[in-house]
Structure 1
Amino acid sequence: MNNLTWQNLKVTKQHRLMQKKQPSYVLWFTGLSGSGKSTLANALEQALFERGLHTYLLDGDNLRHGLNQDLGFSETDRTENMRRVGEVSKLFTDAGLIVLAAFISPFQSDRSFIKDLIGEENVIDVYLDTPLSVCEQRDTKGLYKQARAGKIKGFTGIDSPYEAPKSADIVFNTDIMSVNDCVSIILAYLGRRLLLPSV
């Protein structure tokens, strides 16, 4: 690394934010598989997009089809998965975008790394505290069934732990709350924090 030099660029993050007339930050959706992370992130991105804001949604499964296709699901690979996602999120916020990141991200250490990397003030934790029993009943991808049958090892919530956030900014149980209600609550939260400019 000693032969590498950081290249300073003439166009800065501040220039990009001024051009886009919006702040940039990360909405980090965490929760068990089937808790509704991708569904809620999709709906929220559409609402932000319709308001003229510049966004990008990073979805766990989608990134494993490309950037992270070489990673498995061991604890080491999951940590590397989060490291890469964190670096991409940092680049996108530097580009002036509002990033929506939907990842199980079961380990507190990985979520803390993301905040340290991007800046705690730039990351909003959205925890989908949906009960395991509900997520398992949904089993939209058939993963819980495979995990219970022993076909998938190290599956979060079954034989690998999920460390719930201790102080998330926003908490939802999608078993008792609709997607539209969750979106409205997040938009109201962003408005109170002056993170939802009119464009």
Structure 2
Amino acid sequence: MTDEKSMNRAISGGIIWLTGLSGSGKSTIATHLCKTLIQANLKVEILDGDQIRSWLSPGLGFSKADRDLNVQRVGMVANLLSRNGVLVIVAMISPYREIRNQLKATTHNFIEIFINAPLEVCEVRDIKGLYAQARAGNIQGFTGVSDPYEIPLEPDLICHTADETIAESVSKILQMLSKMNLIPSLQA
């Protein structure tokens, strides 16, 4: 339960940017985190990389320039929402460190969370078979196989999803957001 005073602390907004390989758990954590924040009557939105690309960046491919432009567009939308008191959860591979650092420097309350799972674990979790297709040469420029993923050097938080449950990862995020005075103290 939250009280009125706690709720007033949680209206500054923020961008909770979940970055990691495909299959690391970004979307799953985002969904569970969002449910917890909604139950606390906080304003929250999810911008999921898989879903948002089709309507925000439909003409873009997967070159570095196109990926960077897609991340910039998502960052701009997230920043607009954040500046207006919304907690925005972005679940996006966003493989390049430079563009993530640029967003961190130019957006409102940007929090970078590295969803860390070994490539082997991500491949086992891959229900779409994308890693297998990439390894077979059917998908070019696939992050983690034929295109790099640049691990964040100084993320605000790391969730080790091969070793933590979803609830443990979400709890770590909630604790950090509470310490930053973006939300009241909540349980996953």
TM-score (norm 2): 0.90
SS, match of residue 98 in structure 2: helix
1:115-173 deviations in whole A, cap 9, x for unaligned?
12204xx1111101100010011112211011011111000110111110011111111
SS, match of residue 36 in structure 2: helix
Alignment match, 1:34:
23
Alignment match, 2:40:
51
Whether 2:94 is the aligned partner of 1:94: answer no
Inter-partner Cα distance in structure 2 for 1:118 and 1:191: 20
Unaligned 5+ segments in structure 2 are 1-6
Change (3 A) 1:111 1:43: same
Alignment match, 2:4:
none
Q: Which residue among 158, 161, 165 is the counterpart of 1:171?
A: 158
Whether 2:73 is the aligned partner of 1:84: answer yes
SS, match of residue 34 in structure 1: coil
Inter-partner Cα distance in structure 1 for 2:46 and 2:10: 19
Alignment match, 1:15:
none
Whose Rg is larger? 1
TM-score (norm 1): 0.85
Inter-partner Cα distance in structure 2 for 1:144 and 1:108: 22
Any residues of structure 2 matched to 1:97-108 within 5 Å, and which? 97-108=86-97
Amino acid in the other structure paired with 2:172 = I
SS, match of residue 89 in structure 2: strand
Alignment match, 1:13:
none
SS, match of residue 38 in structure 1: helix
Inter-partner Cα distance in structure 2 for 1:103 and 1:115: 15
CA RMSD of aligned residues (A): 1.7
Inter-partner Cα distance in structure 1 for 2:84 and 2:172: 26
Structure 1 runs, 4 residues or longer, greater than 4 Å off: 18-21
Identity across aligned pairs (percent)? 44
Q: Which residue among 91, 102, 127 is the counterpart of 2:114?
A: 127
Amino acid in the other structure paired with 2:180 = R
